[in-house]
Amino acid sequence: MHDLAPIISQLGEPLVVVDVGAQALTHESHVYDILRQLGVPLRVIGFEPQADRAAARRAIDGDNSVIFEAFIGDGGTHQFHPANSCASSSLFPLDGDVCATVASLSALRDQPGDEVETKRLDDVLRHVPAIDFLKLDIEGAELMTLQGGAAVLWRTAIVHVETAFVAFRQNQPLFADVDLFLRINDFGLMRLHAPAMRAATTPSGAQGADRLMWADAVFFANEAGVTDRMLLVQAIVAGGVYGMHTVAERALALYDARHGTILARDYVKPAEWRPEPAMLWWATQQTNAALRGEAAIAEAASMMAEVGLPPHPDRPKCWDGFLAALHAADSTARDVPILDAGAERYSTFLPGLRQLGFTDLTGINTVFTAPGEHHGIRLLPGDITGSTLPAAHYGFIACLSVIEHGVDLAAFFAEQARLLRPGGHLFVSCDYWETPVDTAGLSAYGTPIHIFTRPELEAAIALAETVGLRLVGPSNLACVDKAVA
């Protein structure tokens, strides 16, 4: 388990994030959001030129960020090319011939746009003394923005920048151009984050994750010129966001050498965390049972904070998420593969296990279009009722609030039984109330909302037994108090 608390305390002031291209995301969280879940105070300064997108981000963040409506670039005047997909709008026009060769880009089209004035980072950030984390996602304009922020880069610890490997925009700078510029400015490439693999356009319409189109490139300021604050920031972000624990430890060792501290030693804890007896007793009372009101949610959230695990943004889900984490930590070795069946990018189950020292973590979901990585966790396209994952491989599988969304239970249990290694555990949670609840006309994730009743849940348990999956311990399906309206 890697402890960020002493480093956060040493940092003192909030970690400053500058987000260029700060529109609200619909299917994932911002890469730095996990820092807030880990207890890192953030000051977020965002720039988003599209007024409706900036307003949506303000509505979501409230006081957690300050969002300015501005085009960031080289300070010059440029033509803005709004696309039929808002997230693809750019200062660089699409190259229709190239887009036509990539299945997922073939429908992109530019719409009429206006000339716009851009502002330089060096001008808009001239009063910000330290930029800890600079994130750029501006559809091809990243290099011109970096060139307009040469002074800013001298006081920046980390640059997280979307880069392209295929020029699907006219005159678009590619990864090699951005990499060269940042290397000249004393930054080193640490990793490619969330690479986007896409299928070529074919007569058959076949799909595949075949061609690298773009990826977020992560650069750290080189060691020779970093300040004490930069070292602390690099350690926090390396460990907390990217799971690069050796990089974090090295940054802390450099800091320790300057100040005679022992942050690196404290960061690397050889002993595995195990649930305390009181937590395990609590888990036995909650397992194979209905959620017993707000008190159980509060208890789970409190224990998560005590352990240092990130809370779920939807608070009631702290209950089953923490239960699953407790069972995994108590039953499964840290190097044994663990699967989140139906994972989402905003889920905190796997990131929490990573904090506890688990090293082989995978999430699957049909919403993932290509294999990727998120905070050091593999995310794979996959159906929880039938996948290509290896048989008898996983020591622990969690499926949290998924099966109520139109899942074929017979196929689901058969697939999980196939994936589990002998002696492995399957943890499943779902929406439940003893008696029927009227959900007519309600839907989520494209399917009607269904709340399991007691007879339905008992039938599901019996169905699982037909493929060799049996409850661990007794069940108590009595409902006491509605905790979720």
Report how far residue 116's alpha carbon sits from residue 79's, in angstroms, rounded to the nearest whole number.
6
Selection from 339, 481, 332, 354 nearest residue 400 by Cα: 339
Locate 209 and state its tokens.
């994750």
Q: Which fold has domain 277-465?
A: Rossmann fold (3.40.50)
Both tokens of 476, joined, read 């108590």
Residue 101: exposure state from Cβ atoms within 10 A (0-12, 13-18, ≥19): middle
pLDDT digits (tens, 9 = 90+) for 193-206: 888 899 999 999 98
Which is nearest to 129 in space by CA: 146, 106, 152, 148? Answer: 152
Q: Would you state the pLDDT for residue 209?
A: 83
* Contacting residues for 144 by C-beta, under 8 A, at least 6 apart: 73, 74, 91, 118, 173
Domain regions of the chain by residue span: 5-266, 277-465
pLDDT number for residue 174: 97
pLDDT value of residue 485: 52
Smallest CA-to-CA distance from 217 within 270, 168, 158 is with 158
Cα angle 26, 359, 396; round to 5: 80
How high is the pLDDT of residue 194? Answer: 84
Q: Could you give the CA distance from residue 301 to residue 265 in angstroms, rounded to a whole number?
A: 29
Tell me the two tokens of residue 298: 């509060």
Q: Which residues of the chain have pLDDT under 50?
A: none
Say what the pLDDT of residue 27 is. Answer: 67
Q: Are 86 and 107 in contact (CB under 8 A)?
A: no
Q: pTM for the complete prediction? A: 0.65
E strand residue ranges, 56-154? 65-68, 71-72, 77-79, 115-119, 131-136
Q: How many CB atoms lie within 10 A of CB 42?
A: 16
5-266: what CATH class? alpha beta
310-342 confidence digits (pLDDT tens): 888 888 999 999 999 999 999 999 999 999 999
